[in-house]
């Protein structure tokens, strides 16, 4: 494994061991359940919106290291973002992990797209299709929460 791969792995392990924003959020006005039946990952996402801005975000649940780290890093990236920015970040992240990202596309910061920041640690997930569902569970749950969906989000 190269040095960059080792660094990415360490970031994922750190966020799995000590997930950020791992709590039920008081005052949340959006909530959604998420489930990845393939891996058994489950999470509940809590969001507090103030107008169109994500003022607070937290999650609880259990799952594999990739699922928990993805939720942790996602919550860090979304605090203070607007709904539109969150949806744009979803598309770019999804493209990153599925391999559908195109150079110069919406994730290209030079073209005004969102900066993935630490979320780039999941770039290698696209080489393991089963793990893509683990990495995207929190993101699909985010969409469900933003839409006030009544049914649980799933990776299927």
| pLDDT at residue number 5 | 79
HEC profile of the chain? CCHHHHHHHHHHHHHHHCCCCECCCCCCCEEEEEEECCCCEEEEEEEEEECCEEEEEEEEEECCHHHHHHHHHHHHHHCCCEHHHHHHHHHHHHHHHHCCCCCCCCCCHHHCCCCCHHHHHHHHHHHCHHHHHHHHHHHHHHHHHHCCCCCCEECC
| pLDDT at residue number 58 | 98
| pLDDT at residue number 2 | 78
| pLDDT at residue number 106 | 46
What's the whole-model pTM score? 0.90
What are the average pLDDT values for consecutive 10-residue runs of the chain, which has 156 residues? 80 96 97 94 97 98 96 98 96 92 47 80 92 96 95 90
| pLDDT at residue number 114 | 81
């Amino acid at each position: 494994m190269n040095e960059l791969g080792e660094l990415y792995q360490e970031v994922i392990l750190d966020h799995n061991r000590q997930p950020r924003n791992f709590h039920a959020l008081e005052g949340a006005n959006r909530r959604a359940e998420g489930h990845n039946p393939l891996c058994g990952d489950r999470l509940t996402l809590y969001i507090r919106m103030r107008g169109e801005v994500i003022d607070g975000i937290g999650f609880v649940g259990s799952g594999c290291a990739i699922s928990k780290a993805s939720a942790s890093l996602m919550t860090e990236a979304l605090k203070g973002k607007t709904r539109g920015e969150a949806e744009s970040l979803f598309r770019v992240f999804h493209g990153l992990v599925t391999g559908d990202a195109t150079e110069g596309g919406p994730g290209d910061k030079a073209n005004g797209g969102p900066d993935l920041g630490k979320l780039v640690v999941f770039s290698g997930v696209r080489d393991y299709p089963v793990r893509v569902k683990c990495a995207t569970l929190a993101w699909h749950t985010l969409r469900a929460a933003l839409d006030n969906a009544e049914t649980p989000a799933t990776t299927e």
